[in-house]
Structure 1
Amino acid sequence: MTRGKVIIVGGGIGGLAAAVAFHQRGLRVEVLERAAEFTEVGAGLAIQPNGLRALDAIGLGDRVRAGGPAEPLAGIRSRRGDWLVRNDVADLKRRFGSWATVHRADLIDLLRAAVPPEVLRPGIDVREVRPDGTVRHSGGTSTADLVVGADGVHSVTRRSVWPGLPGPRYVDYTTWRLIAPPRPVEGSVETWGRGERFGHVPMPDGRVYCYLMANAPAGSRIGLDELRERFARWHRPIPDLLGSADQDAVLQHDTYELPPLPAYVAGNVAVLGDAAHAMTPNLGQGACQALEDAVTLAQAVDTLGVRAGLAAYDRARRPRTQEIVRRSRQAGAAAHWTSAPLTALRDAVLPALPRTFFERSLTPAYTWTI
């Protein structure tokens, strides 16, 4: 497809990556974003090898690697600090490639700078997307040869095109993210308790990206003081990281997963990222899969045309992403057990399992190439 117009609904990581990929292939692009500006208020983001290869496809991988080299997850500890799982970090990097850690806002800025500013339309509230490529929004009506719904877990695009499908489901735990001031930490580590967990990831500038998850009813709002109290007796440096954090730096979001869609395309419309396959954060693959979606979609449509390209995109992406949604759900399930006997059994059994047991859940994600 050497000519044509693409409207992208949503200016997050997946939407902007798609904009870059289509722009580089010579298509006219228009990105409609509801927020008043193209930015991201999130915290840190670990880009795994497959996500970096997707960024390589649009010429940005090395810039991310240079700015934020990182290590794979070193392993999982108990709340007392005992190792439950130890990963061979050097072997993971040798087998799969490099990791990087960036602030979400920095990645958004990098993607945004790779497209002409005139294609970005902030402050546009999309109200309906039709399979024929018509988009009704607060600025009027637009049409395109292809519409890409990259508008997140509560996607207007998805609801418009598939109104009868089930919506996202709450997975019974909420997530907090924050960036703590600079402090030495022992690599990227996750700690499991009973129905709650804590992870920390060092960032290139010395700050520490932290994420916490805990079983809670949807809509629960828990502040930093309560988090400090809940995790006060966990192993160090967890209490220290929370103690040094600023309340204004804490973001809380309920965790949702999208039931499997029967298709990611309909007519002249495709969905990608969380709009297509919102997943739990347990494998850290949400942004990476959105990046894969974006470059795969642009290549397929450019090579085959809209209809054939969309069919090829659906064949390539739906089985892979839905399998990763399933693996991600399973990977974190045991962290949210609340039974004392079950969690004690978990903590006794995990250290005895072979390393290959855990690697089987990681390999399919890391080995992707376009």
Structure 2
Amino acid sequence: MHVEIAGGGIGGLTAATAFARRGHSVTVHEINSELREIGAGLFVWENALRALEALGAYDEIAKSGEWNQSWQIRDHRNRVLQSDWLMKDSRLLTAERRRLHIALANQAIRAGVEIRTGSEVVSATPEGELELADGTKRKADLVLGVEGVTSRIRDLLPGRKQVIRLRDGGARYLIRRREDDHEVQNSSIECWNAGRRVGVIPVSREHIYLYLCCPVIDAEGARAPANIESWVRSFPQLESYLRRLEDNGKYVEFRDIRCERWHHGRMAILGDAAHAMSPNLGQAACISIQSAYLLARCVHEAHSIGEGLRAWETKFRPVAEATQRLSRFYGRVGTRWPVLLQDARSLMISAMGSSARLQHRINVAVRTDVTAAVPIL
């Protein structure tokens, strides 16, 4: 079987490696002149770690990232509301986004994937034909659109598609790590005040990942470059980190993408192209990795490509959509909660952490093991 993939990001390279390691020929088309991942840092939860282990990319990223023993949520009074948020029975690695991308690219190349840079995909057909910007047409048994929120292949699928603006967003930065940053040694921190949130996440020996989130109506919070004085007033306890910000961040409003169909004929979409979500739970990239691995496995083990695609979408859509809903809810609580009721919010967040039932629901993606040696069809 031959697979053509539009998009050389994390999801595209995961799918490419997963197919190639099963003996299929794969070509990845990346529109940019070189493979590069845009972004700062990310969370790599248990669900993605299992897939990375199966793909052979685990060791490389594990050596460069930071293993977290706690993830604290602190409120407007700097009280710790949670110290093991979402971490029950799961590992958490935080890493620089580019290093995960490099680890996946290395495994794709080792598996024999052909990666074409400067190659722009403009169209595809349900029969498995892919068209490039230079007019070249390429035939494949399966075409995957993994080009992110602006996916062209998504627009070619039948059914309803929605791009939902969530009214909150954020900017992401890498700052230099210092020897006296003991507070974030093997620990991530997220602080809340009114409608603003700041994450301080260690991602390597050299860098800390900072994200600044607020509603779109917060003009000072959404300003680029960041209004450091405004953020320091909201989070004086984080001044040491905020003062290290450089003018290289960009505020982006978060969006959800919902699609009635993820596949049609020999075409399929995955990752942000199919189910973009806010990054509030740190699961967006993990879900893409998980989905890409499962897709390759389902198609490989099925009697036909159609059967494999149906099995993949049936199994994984509930996981992706549940995580998307929970991430959206987290954002609403964190950025659009009434200011006068912040103490009530603190009580609620504390209670949520002690609820085994709620933790079970929130960890739906972590609990879904797409690498398990069990029949999936």
Give the TM-score taking structure 1 as reference length.
0.90
Paired residue total: 359
Alignment of 1:138-149 (within 5 A): 138-139=133-134, 140-149=136-145
Residue 354 and residue 12 in structure 1: after superposition, are their counterparts in 2 closer, same or farther (change >3 A)? closer
Task: Give the CA deviation at 1:71.
Answer: 0.9
Q: Which runs of 5+ in 2 are unaligned?
A: 371-377
Question: Quick one: distance in 2 between partners of 1:135 and 1:209?
Answer: 38
In structure 2, the residue corresponding to 1:132 is in which secondary structure?
A: coil
Question: Quick one: distance in 2 between partners of 1:342 and 1:135?
Answer: 53
Which residue number corresponds to residue 233 of structure 2?
Answer: 233
Alignment of 1:132-211 (within 5 A): 132-139=127-134, 140-162=136-158, 165-183=160-178, 184=181, 185-186=183-184, 187-211=187-211
1:51 pairs with 2:70: no
Task: Give the CA deviation at 1:88.
Answer: 7.1
Return 354-363 or 37-46, whichever deviates more: 354-363
Which residue number corresponds to residue 301 of structure 1?
Answer: 299
Question: Quick one: distance in 2 between partners of 1:69 and 1:208?
Answer: 10
Instruction: Tell me if structure 2 keeps the 8 A contact 1:70–1:204.
Output: no
Question: Quick one: distance in 1 between partners of 2:252 and 2:162?
Answer: 17
Which residue number corresponds to residue 86 of structure 1?
Answer: 83
1:103 pairs with 2:101: no
Return 166-175 or 319-328, whichever deviates more: 166-175
Q: Which runs of 5+ in 1 are unaligned?
A: none
1:223 pairs with 2:224: yes
Residue 69 and residue 243 in structure 1: after superposition, are their counterparts in 2 closer, same or farther (change >3 A)? closer
1:119 pairs with 2:118: no
Identity of aligned residues (%): 30
Which residue number corresponds to residue 375 of structure 2?
Answer: none
Question: Quick one: distance in 1 between partners of 2:67 and 2:257?
Answer: 29
Residue 353 and residue 22 in structure 1: after superposition, are their counterparts in 2 closer, same or farther (change >3 A)? closer
Task: Give the CA deviation at 1:43.
Answer: 0.5
Question: Quick one: distance in 1 between partners of 2:274 and 2:69?
Answer: 26
Question: Quick one: distance in 1 between partners of 2:268 and 2:6?
Answer: 10
RMSD: 2.3
Give, as a single letter, the amino acid of the residue that structure 2 aligns with 1:256.
R
1:273 pairs with 2:271: yes
Give, as a single letter, the amino acid of the residue that structure 1 aligns with 2:117.
P
Give the TM-score taking structure 2 as reference length.
0.88
Task: Give the CA deviation at 1:172.
Answer: 0.6
Instruction: Tell me if structure 2 keeps the 8 A contact 1:5–1:27.
Output: yes
Which residue number corresponds to residue 374 of structure 2?
Answer: none
Residue 66 and residue 301 in structure 1: after superposition, are their counterparts in 2 closer, same or farther (change >3 A)? same
Question: Quick one: distance in 1 between partners of 2:124 and 2:222?
Answer: 33
Residue 100 and residue 338 in structure 1: after superposition, are their counterparts in 2 closer, same or farther (change >3 A)? closer
Task: Give the CA deviation at 1:53.
Answer: 0.4
Give, as a single letter, the amino acid of the residue that structure 1 aligns with 2:360.
R
Residue 300 and residue 338 in structure 1: after superposition, are their counterparts in 2 closer, same or farther (change >3 A)? closer
In structure 1, the residue corresponding to 2:148 is in which secondary structure?
A: coil
Deviation digits for residues 275-294 of structure 1, max 9, x if unmatched? 11111111111111111111
Which residue number corresponds to residue 131 of structure 1?
Answer: 126
Which residue number corresponds to residue 326 of structure 2?
Answer: 327
